[in-house]
Amino acid sequence: MNDITVTNGISGKNKERVIEWTNSRGADFLAQWAGPKLAFPLTQEQFEQMENLYSVFHDGAFIGMIQKIKTENNNVHIGRFIIDPEQTGKGFGKEALLQFMKTIFSDKNIHSITLTVSDTNAHAKQLYEKVGFKIKETVDAPAKKFIMIAFAN
């Protein structure tokens, strides 16, 4: 299908691209994408505090990132998944997410992956459902969001 690769780490130049993508969408987008720990506008200093970042490439060109936020018991919580706005709708996000999940589940101690998605982000929620995530829990405050889970095969 698409020549998508997901690799551990992210270069300085690519961090700048992610900062540009998020800040150009405004404070509401950053809050939805990054959660309450990062303030608008996203800065290089804030970005440097994030760990376990993975880069997404298409034909060798950087098109996005995703983060392993935390590992707890047999679960990995992921988030801060973004694809270059000019590259969305081409199936790259789905392929990147499938590869990332495969990488995570290659650790036989990991049995599930969770993520959180805002109810206003229907496109992302639909993508997560396509790759096997199901709603585990609905949180109504301060804003409605879904905690979704996928299990190892």
Mean pLDDT of the chain: 95
Q: Is the pLDDT of residue 1 over 70?
A: no
Give the model's pLDDT for residue 35. Answer: 86
Give the model's pLDDT for residue 72. Answer: 96
Domains of the chain: 4-151 (3.40.630.30)
Contacts of residue 135, Cβ cutoff 8 Å, sequence gap at least 6: 146, 147, 148
pLDDT range class, residue 153, cuts 50, 70, 90: confident
**Residue written as tokens 């679960």?**
75
Q: Where are the alpha helices (DSSP H) in 25-91?
A: 27-34, 44-48
Reported as a single tens digit per residue, the pLDDT across 88-137 is 999 999 999 999 999 999 999 999 999 999 999 999 999 999 999 999 99
Q: Is 128 helix (H, G, I), strand (E, B) or coil?
A: helix
Cβ–Cβ < 8 Å for 55, 100: no
Angle at 43 between CA 94 and CA 89, to 5 degrees: 20
